[in-house]
Amino acid sequence: MNRMFNILIIEDEESHIELIKRGFSDYPQYKLTFVYSIADAKKCISENNINVIISDWRLPDGEGIDLVGYMKPKGFFPIILMTSFGNQEFAVEAMKLGVIDYVVKSPESFNRLPYTVGRAIREWENVVARERAEKALRESETRYRAYVETTKDAIFQVDLSGNFIFVNNAGTLAVNVEKNEIIGKNITEYFPESYIKFQMEAIEQVVKTKKPIDFLMPLPVNGSLRELDVALFPFTNKEGDIESIIGVSHDITDIKRTEKALKISEANLREQSELLYNILRHIPDYIYWKDNQSVYRGCNDNFAKSFGFDSTNKIVGKTDYDLYGNKEEAEKIISGDLSVMENGKPLLNNEEETINLSNEKIIISKNLIPLKDSEGKRAGIMGMYSDITKRKNSDAELRKLSRATEQSPALIVITDTKGNIEYVNPSFEKVTGYLSSDVKGKNSNLLKSGYTPRSVYNDLWNTLLSGNEWRGEFQNKKKNGELYWEAASISAIKNEKGKITHFIAVKEDITKRKELEFDLKHAVDQSEESSRLKSSLLSNMSHELRTPLNGILGLSQILIEEMTDTSLSSFAKKIYLAGKRLMITLNSILDLSEIESNTTQINKIEYDLGTQINYLLTQYIYAAKEKGLNFSVNILDDNITALVDERLCNQVLINLVDNAVKYTEKGKIEISIEKEIIHEVCYLKICISDTGIGISQENIPLIFEEFRQVSEGFNRSFEGSGLGLTLVKKMLLLLEGKLKVESEIGIGSKFIVYLPGKVKKSEDVSELETSSALPEIENKNNPSVLLVEDNAINKEVITCYIENFCDVDGVSDGIEAIEKAGEKQYDIVLMDINLGHGMDGIEATKEIKKISGYNDIPFVALTGYAMSGDKERLLREGLTHYLPKPFEKEDLQRLLKSVLGL
Ligand code: ADP
């Protein structure tokens, strides 16, 4: 689109106006406004945007030239003056004043007026553009000069030889000289040589390459070494030749310093944040942070691990719905987060129940901290929690323990390692009378009574300090001075490093027990004493009763054999039988008393009953035969021995066989021995069966009671003390054996005894075989026997028993015996043990054994000491064989024949 121009024409001559209008008629881009006076022109100018003014010189209210002065301040200029007269001077004058063109009025010039206007506009625009450019240049120069002179950078210009052409303020300040002084001077005058060389080389390079260069160089400025960033530019003339060099030196010392400081602080910051991050990652707590929508943005290792993730990154972007399978749990956590974010206050040490990965309930202590951005707006949340389930549980355990300690009936004292009391429980207060406040901080030795021996305390400390538990008893003192006994268990309490930090004493007040123990001990002592007296009484009684009985039985037996008068011999027989019965009763009473007083000595051996039984039961076999009974002994298994005390075992058997013979009038008595394994335990089983009167089932329990018989009262039909089975039962108890009874009235009875058994080893040899290993007697004449016996009747009876196959020398005491042995070598010594006053049989044996030829001969103890343990004691003392009184003629004869190999 063409530009439109508003032309203001000031003309008062109508004909001229007409001509002007005609002249512009073909130029629609010019919009003409006509006024007649300067005043109207001014008005029009102020109201319209006029581009060009064409004014007549002479106007009714002044000259057109006046408008130049009027327009100048408005910056509006292209004014074309029209005159009716063509005066050159006048034109020059008008142009000087600022008129752009001058037209001499003529029809032709009116026609050309649009060209004149066009040229004026163009010219004016050129002027305006030039003025604008000049202004801009002026401004820019001012600006640059201001910059150059105010900048802190040193700016300088040197010619190619290094002479200063220009130096700005900062430059002169840097070298500390006046501006006018430095111009024309060479750089060598102001800088050290080493720097000059460097600078000159740089200038040479710029000249050579015609390109700017930039380099860093240190330079001492005003006494301090500064780091400069120097840029050199080539300054060329119109022909492009380098005339000079412009340099800008920027002091970057401070920047460098700041940069360095910044770098250090950045490094520090990085280091610190790395450290913090590492700490955060490895903190044993669970830590996470979320955005304000409760979406996870990060977490520490532990938190990730607790949800089964191997990397913390895997948490990012997840929500609690993803982490917890449980929707309710997720909602609970999110709403907790949101409420903390909303109210902006941290939630600290909040105990909550939640679930872990394995869906187990755990207790956590949680901290929620709202996060804010730099503008203080809500940015998310940080959560930290630790699993306190164990602590909670152990707290509960601890509470339980402490309650147990508080309520324990035991006295509990906790001290430090020096024994200073730190804790006592209520039981301690109750028993000792000391309150906790009385003893706290005091040493535990305030309880000492002085009656506990020092050695106990020494032992206590040695045990404790070696890390062991000490148990023992103290006699301590209460607050009121009263003594009391306590049983204490004291042990060390150690810390995690195994160092002893405390001692704990758990004590029991045993004063009452101690008193009871004292009473008991007293009672035991008394009972032991009475038992000792009893057993000594029994032993003496046994001796005193057996010795005369031996005489009665022995002599009556001799009378029976020797007397030809049948009526007298039947008296003798009655004496014998009465004596025998007395002896059985005596044995039973003594055995029972011994068992009752617990003085029975048990000497368990491997007893080969099978080889002894016939010998043991000889008199019963004889008695059975006399009654016309069949008597048989069957050893069904000869490979077994009984693990028993020999004497008690024999007594059991004798009592049962005695009964069998006694209560059987016709038929038979059978005894069998065999092995039986019950529950993998080996037993020796002995059956004694008879075809006697039998016992009814209801009477079976009764027969084991003391002094009880099936037929009792004055019309009882059988003799007996009623003690036999009682003894059997008690003895079997001592032998760890058992008894079974099977019986039927009129048919018979069967007593079955089980004794601990043992299968014989092949090399086992019986006692009889051992005895037969004694030296053989070469002399085929009657063996010579030294009989030592203080009781004259017994001496006579014994001599009588054996004189038909032995040469017997009888003496009454030990001294005589030793003398006799010294005079003659005997084959065997029969020694009574109790020899009245003076030397006893044991001493006499020992003395005789010292005489040469007597060490290896048999010494048989013939004694009234027939209680348990007597045999073993005598064999230990040096006697080789033992026969208790009262014994029968056969017993002695059998023994001698076996010992002497006759
Ligand atoms: P005693 O035989 O001295 O009377 P025991 O204690 O040996 O005492 O026996 C108690 C009772 O048991 C006997 O009196 C007798 O009635 C009964 N008795 C024991 N053994 C037999 C037996 N083999 N046959 C029948 N009765 C027996």
Asked whether residue 538 carries a pLDDT value surpassing 80, the answer given is no
From atom 7 of ligand 1, which residue's Cα is the shortest distance away?
724
> Burial level of 272, CB count in 10 A (0-12/13-18/19+)?
exposed
Nearest-CA neighbor of 888 among 558, 543, 544?
A: 558
Q: Can you say how many angstroms the Cα of residue 62 is from the centroid of all Cα atoms in its chain?
A: 120
Ligand 1 centroid to residue 785 C-alpha, Å: 42
Could you tell me the two tokens for 139? 């401004």
User: Tens digit of pLDDT for each residue in 792-833?
Assistant: 888 888 888 898 899 999 999 999 999 999 999 999 999 999
Asked whether residue 109 carries a pLDDT value surpassing 80, the answer given is yes
- Ligand 1 atom with the smallest distance to the CA of 655 is 7
Give the pLDDT band (50/70/90) at residue 747: very high
CB-based contacts of 720: which residues, under 8 Å, 6+ apart?
662, 709
Ligand 1 centroid to residue 871 C-alpha, Å: 29
Ligand 1 centroid to residue 584 C-alpha, Å: 14
Ligand 1 centroid to residue 664 C-alpha, Å: 11
User: Tens digit of pLDDT for each residue in 469-520?
Assistant: 999 998 999 999 999 999 999 999 988 888 889 999 999 999 998 888 888 8
Higher pLDDT, residue 85 or 374: 374
Q: Which residues pair with 811 in a beta bridge?
A: 788
How does DSSP assign 324-379, residue by residue? -S-HHHHHHHHHHHHHHHHH---EEEEEEEEE-TTS-EEEEEEEEEEEE-TTS-EE
Asked whether residue 194 carries a pLDDT value surpassing 80, the answer given is no
Which residue type is seen at 382? M
Q: Cis (ω within 30 of 0) for the bond into 884?
A: no
Q: Which of 567-571, 630-634, 699-703, 818-822 is predicted with the least confidence, judged by mean pLDDT? A: 567-571
Which conformational region is residue 131 in: left (phi greater than 0), alpha (psi within -120 to 50 degrees), or beta? alpha
From atom 19 of ligand 1, which residue's Cα is the shortest distance away?
659
Question: What's the CA gap between 430 and 425, in Å, rounded?
Answer: 9
- Ligand 1 atom with the smallest distance to the CA of 722 is 8
Nearest-CA neighbor of 884 among 653, 647, 552, 588?
A: 647
Rounded average pLDDT over 282-307: 89
Question: What's the CA gap between 881 and 899, in Å, rounded?
Answer: 9
CA distances from residue 401 to 109, 386, 395, 408, 829 in whole angstroms, order as listed? 129, 25, 10, 10, 78
Ligand 1 centroid to residue 746 C-alpha, Å: 14
pLDDT score recorded for residue 669 = 96
Identify whether the C-beta of residue 506 lies closer than 8 Å to the C-beta of residue 562: no
Instruction: Give percent of the chain with pLDDT exceeding 90.
Output: 34
- Ligand 1 atom with the smallest distance to the CA of 710 is 16
Question: What's the CA gap between 172 and 154, in Å, rounded?
Answer: 8
Asked whether residue 176 carries a pLDDT value surpassing 80, the answer given is yes
Q: Which residues pair with 807 in a beta bridge?
A: 784
The top-scoring range by mean pLDDT among 59-73, 285-299, 769-783 is: 285-299
pLDDT score recorded for residue 783 = 92
Ligand 1 centroid to residue 638 C-alpha, Å: 29
From atom 16 of ligand 1, which residue's Cα is the shortest distance away?
710
Mean pLDDT of the residues in the chain: 87
Which residue type is seen at 189? E
Which residue type is seen at 284? P
Q: Which long-range contacts (CB under 8 A, 24 or more apart) does 719-722 make?
A: 719/581, 719/662, 720/662, 721/584, 721/585, 721/588, 721/589
| Beta carbons within 10 angstroms of residue 230's beta carbon | 19
Question: What's the CA gap between 873 and 380, in Å, rounded?
Answer: 100
Helix (H, G, I), strand (E, B) or coil at 788: strand
pLDDT score recorded for residue 434 = 95
> Burial level of 678, CB count in 10 A (0-12/13-18/19+)?
exposed
Rounded average pLDDT over 230-240: 88
Report helix, strand and coil shares of the chain as percent, to nearest 5: 45, 25, 30
Q: Which long-range contacts (CB under 8 A, 24 or more apart) does 374-377 make?
A: none
> Burial level of 634, CB count in 10 A (0-12/13-18/19+)?
exposed
- Any residues with Cβ below 6 Å from ligand 1, and which? 655, 659-660, 663, 690, 692-695, 703, 709-710, 718, 720-726, 749
Asked whether residue 713 carries a pLDDT value surpassing 90, the answer given is no
Task: Provide the Cα torsion 555, 556, 560, 561; round to 10°.
Answer: -20
Could you tell me the two tokens for 259? 């940069």
Give the pLDDT band (50/70/90) at residue 657: very high
CA distances from residue 224 to 12, 168, 285, 454 in whole angstroms, order as listed? 81, 21, 55, 86
Higher pLDDT, residue 628 or 794: 628
Rounded average pLDDT over 869-888: 88
Question: What's the CA gap between 713 and 707, in Å, rounded?
Answer: 12
- Ligand 1 atom with the smallest distance to the CA of 588 is 3
> Burial level of 497, CB count in 10 A (0-12/13-18/19+)?
exposed
Higher pLDDT, residue 1 or 412: 412
Asked whether residue 522 carries a pLDDT value surpassing 80, the answer given is yes
Rounded average pLDDT over 237-264: 87
pLDDT score recorded for residue 597 = 76
Helix (H, G, I), strand (E, B) or coil at 639: coil
User: Tens digit of pLDDT for each residue in 635-650?
Assistant: 998 889 999 998 899 9
Q: 3-state secondary structure string, 386-451?
A: EECHHHHHHHHHHHHHHHHHHHCCCEEEEEECCCEEEEECHHHHHHHCCCHHHHCCCEHHHHECCC
Asked whether residue 731 carries a pLDDT value surpassing 80, the answer given is yes
- Output b/e per residue, 730-741; b: 16+ Cβ within 10 A: bbbebbebebeb
Ligand 1 centroid to residue 709 C-alpha, Å: 6
From atom 1 of ligand 1, which residue's Cα is the shortest distance away?
722
Ligand 1 centroid to residue 838 C-alpha, Å: 45
pLDDT score recorded for residue 652 = 93
User: Tens digit of pLDDT for each residue in 328-369?
Assistant: 888 988 998 899 999 889 999 999 888 877 778 889 999 999
Asked whether residue 391 carries a pLDDT value surpassing 90, the answer given is no
Task: Provide the Cα torsion 43, 44, 50, 54; round to 10°.
Answer: -90
Asked whether residue 692 carries a pLDDT value surpassing 90, the answer given is yes
- Output b/e per residue, 135-152; b: 16+ Cβ within 10 A: eeeeeeeeeeeeebeeee
Higher pLDDT, residue 708 or 728: 728
Question: What's the CA gap between 526 and 519, in Å, rounded?
Answer: 10
φ/ψ (deg, to 5) at 584: -65, -45
Sign of the torsion formed by the C-alpha atoms of 432, 436, 438 and 441: positive
- Ligand 1 atom with the smallest distance to the CA of 688 is 23
Nearest-CA neighbor of 283 among 314, 250, 306?
A: 306
Ligand 1 centroid to residue 712 C-alpha, Å: 11
φ/ψ (deg, to 5) at 440: -60, 130
φ/ψ (deg, to 5) at 119: -65, -40
Q: Which residue has the tokens 């709403």?
A: 335
Rounded average pLDDT over 542-560: 84
- Ligand 1 atom with the smallest distance to the CA of 709 is 14
Rounded average pLDDT over 844-869: 90
pLDDT score recorded for residue 771 = 37
Rounded average pLDDT over 82-87: 79
Give the pLDDT band (50/70/90) at residue 774: very low
Ligand 1 centroid to residue 162 C-alpha, Å: 155
Asked whether residue 417 carries a pLDDT value surpassing 80, the answer given is yes
The top-scoring range by mean pLDDT among 83-87, 372-376, 426-430, 721-725 is: 426-430
Q: Which residues pair with 642 in a beta bridge?
A: 607, 757
Q: Kind and range of the H or E element at 51? A: none
Give the pLDDT band (50/70/90) at residue 152: confident
Which of 581, 663, 690, 740 has most ligand 1 atoms within 8 Å of its beta carbon, as the pocket-test mutant?
663
Task: Provide the Cα torsion 728, 734, 738, 741; round to 10°.
Answer: 10
DSSP letter (8 states) at residue 163: B
- Output b/e per residue, 93-122; b: 16+ Cβ within 10 A: ebeeebbbbbbebeeebbeebbebbeebbe
Give the pLDDT band (50/70/90) at residue 714: low
